[in-house]
Amino acid sequence: MAGKRKDKDNSSSDDSSSEDDIKKKKLKTNTPLIKVSVTSNDNKNKQLTDILTELSVFEKNKGQVHRFTAYRKAVLSIKAYPHEIKSGLEAQKLDGVGAKIAKKIDEILKTGDLKKLKSQNQDETLTAINQLSRVTGIGPQKAKSLVEEGIKTIDDLKKIKNTLTHHQQIGLKYFSEFEQRVPRKEIEVFEKLVSNSLFSIDPNIISQVCGSYRRGLESSGDIDILISHPNFTLEMKDKKKTFNIIEKLVESLKKKHILIDDLSLGPLKYMGVCKLVSTEISEQHIARRIDFKLIPYESYYFGLLHNTGSDEFNRQMRGIALKQGFTLSEYSINKLSKGVKNETPILVNSEKEIFDIIGMEYYPPNKRNL
């Protein structure tokens, strides 16, 4: 996009020798990440994972966080398994698949369905909560509250739209469009439009489309773009001093009729709605969700790692970092000493250096689809 930082894995540094030692030392870990790229094409057990994923969503919307997490963990293990599962007993060999989930797997393999899921689908309250939660800006608790008030469908929601927050109204307005995935080739067009606008603002701005797009998938739920500038530092962010890059970018894209609605606008982040104009590509265009995030220059690779995902990949990587005595965030990596974080962050010049610091094998973006 509008300029990119080059990785400098072998670059010299004036940092302290202790920091250099941390970077050079390959630490060992007993909890490596799953070593496969998990996409729908790799999944040998799609029927199992689809049903268990649907069940996990119901549990999440009921507020059963532990059950949701348990199902999600099982789904990730099953997706990564390179063979077709023939029984619950076979599945129990996988991380996160216990006796109860194994029993459900046997039922799915035998009947092609799950009695518990059928029961959930027949529960009008749960079904309504599940549907309303799909509107951006409405979480499970808000959906539950709405259902208790007699609001059970999208049509019901439209009748009371004036009582909703601005964010929820936008989610309702574009509900059917936001439900559709964004094709990769469409994101490529947005990427070029944003890159050109940023370059016209300042040629030194760097940016990158993140999320599932950067992980190489053919479609995405929305468009997430990370932005930075050599003069925007951690110190400036912490002292609330900000550039007006986001504001200028939004103004530029509105003039081009690319941004059509706003969710929120601040100096560090914009959330909104975009749509290609008819002259871009020949297909019929629909509204898409788009976010811009401005991040300090020292944090660029940490932000890139975090915003690329996947969520599960990030969770596992942060866990490994903690076991190796570090705390990892989207802004920095810091050494821990007796559980206390060293306030001086370790600087890096590439994503790979972050992996090296915690002794973890490097995974390129297309291998992070966990």
Active-site annotation, residues: 104
Can you tell me whether residue 340 is helix, strand or coil? Answer: strand
E strands of 130-241, at which residues? 182-183, 206-209, 219-220, 223-228
Which is it for strands 223-228 and 288-294: parallel, antiparallel or unpaired? parallel
Q: Token pair for residue 149?
A: 């008030």
Contact (CB, 8 A) for 253 and 191? no
Helix then strand then coil, in percent of the chain rounded to 5, is 50, 10, 40
Can you tell me whether residue 239 is helix, strand or coil? Answer: coil
Cβ count within 10 A of residue 67: 16
- The rounded distance, in Å, linking the Cα atoms of 172 and 263 is 12
Within 13 A of 367's CA, how many CA atoms are on the CB side?
8
Q: Token pair for residue 270?
A: 């914009």
Own/partner pairs for 173-178, CB < 8 Å, 24+ apart? 173/261, 174/261, 174/273, 174/287, 175/134, 175/135, 177/286, 177/287, 177/288, 178/136, 178/222, 178/287, 178/288, 178/289
Contact (CB, 8 A) for 298 and 332? yes
